Amino acid sequence: MAEEESFGVLLGRLAKRRQLDLDALARSADVGGPELKNLLRGGGPSPPLLRRLAPVLGLHTADLFVIASVAVPYDLAPAHPTAGSWVPGLVRNAVGLPPDGRNFLRGFVRSLPRKARELPVPTSPAFERYPHGPGAVLMGLARNRNLGWVAVAKTFLVVTGRYWSAATYGGVGRGTTPVTAELLADFCAVLDVPSEDLVTVTGVALPEASSRAKPAGEGVAELIWDVRHLTCSQLQEARNLAESIRR
């Protein structure tokens, strides 16, 4: 993803991949033609516009905010930021389940009530404020799944079998660790985002299929998204259930 590219350029590519022309995109998102044309010419997207575009593109709304380099609104951010440290343990148990067990676990997770936010969503710490670039997008998408640097390192190890230090993933966000084809494939395995879209927004091609790490299990990326609103105690419940299914 070139540094000078605007969101409008990326939007045009995402729409083209879905075989949507300008008129079809405007109609589907209930966006005025002039507003969309201004965006495609380099204008900045407003939060209401991003909320309308995301369903048309089939993307999580919070993820489109990250792709557009716009701060994720309070109501779309993970509800319990401290709960993210529990995610790798849940994933570790989930990857050992058969497909029907993972489906049962996802159903249980979706049945849990949404609890009120325990704390206001904090502003991003300074070390997570990344310069514009493909790594910033990828780490922002991980943060949408309540994964900080340490949780990213642990989760990627479980899902892909590749271990990098937490600081190395921080370097991905800062741009000091390059986004390689293999690294992008790892993100594809963890993020519930179409791999072609990640190629589109990063400008990095995926490696040949034969050289990619095998994902740990179908539905794991979706589970990681599902649990982003859970509390610590709810994540522990889900992990205990996964452990009981494995026995």
Which pLDDT does position 121 carry in this prediction?
65
Whether pLDDT at 2 is above 60: no
Please state the rounded mean pLDDT for residues 208-236. Answer: 85
Which pLDDT does position 35 carry in this prediction?
84
**Contact predicate 39/16, CB 8 Å:** no
**Higher-pLDDT residue of 120, 87:** 87
pLDDT tens readout for residues 101-135: 999 999 999 999 998 876 666 677 888 899 999 99
Please state the rounded mean pLDDT for residues 47-62. Answer: 97
The third-level CATH classification (topology) of the domain covering 7-73 is 434 Repressor (Amino-terminal Domain) (1.10.260)
Which pLDDT does position 217 carry in this prediction?
74
Cβ neighbors of 10 (< 8 A, separation 6 or more) are: 1, 67, 68, 200, 201
The token pair that represents 114 in the structure block: 């949404």
**Contact predicate 25/57, CB 8 Å:** no
Q: 38-68 burial by CB neighbour count: b if 16+ within 10 A, else e?
A: ebbeeeebeeebbebbbebbebbbbbbbbbb
Instruction: Name the residue ranges covered by the structural domains of the chain.
Output: 7-73, 81-246
Using a pLDDT cut of 70, give the percent of the chain over it: 94
**211: pLDDT confidence band, cut at 50, 70 and 90?**
low
Q: What is the 3-state secondary structure (H, E, C) of 53-113?
A: HHHHHCCCHHHHHHHCCCCCCHHHCCCCHHHHHHHHHHHHHHCCCCHHHHHHHHHHHHHCC
Whether pLDDT at 213 is above 50: yes
Q: What is the 3-state secondary structure (H, E, C) of 170-235?
A: HHHHHCCCCCCHHHHHHHHHHCCCCHHHHHHHHCCCCCCHHHCCCCCCCCHHHHHHHHHHCCHHHH
Give 94's Cβ-side CA count (13 Å radius): 35
Cβ neighbors of 165 (< 8 A, separation 6 or more) are: 153
Phi, psi angles (nearest 5°) of residue 183 = -65, -40
pLDDT tens readout for residues 139-197: 999 999 999 999 999 999 999 999 999 999 999 999 999 999 999 999 999 999 999 99
CA 6 – CA 10 distance, rounded (Å): 7
**79: pLDDT confidence band, cut at 50, 70 and 90?**
confident
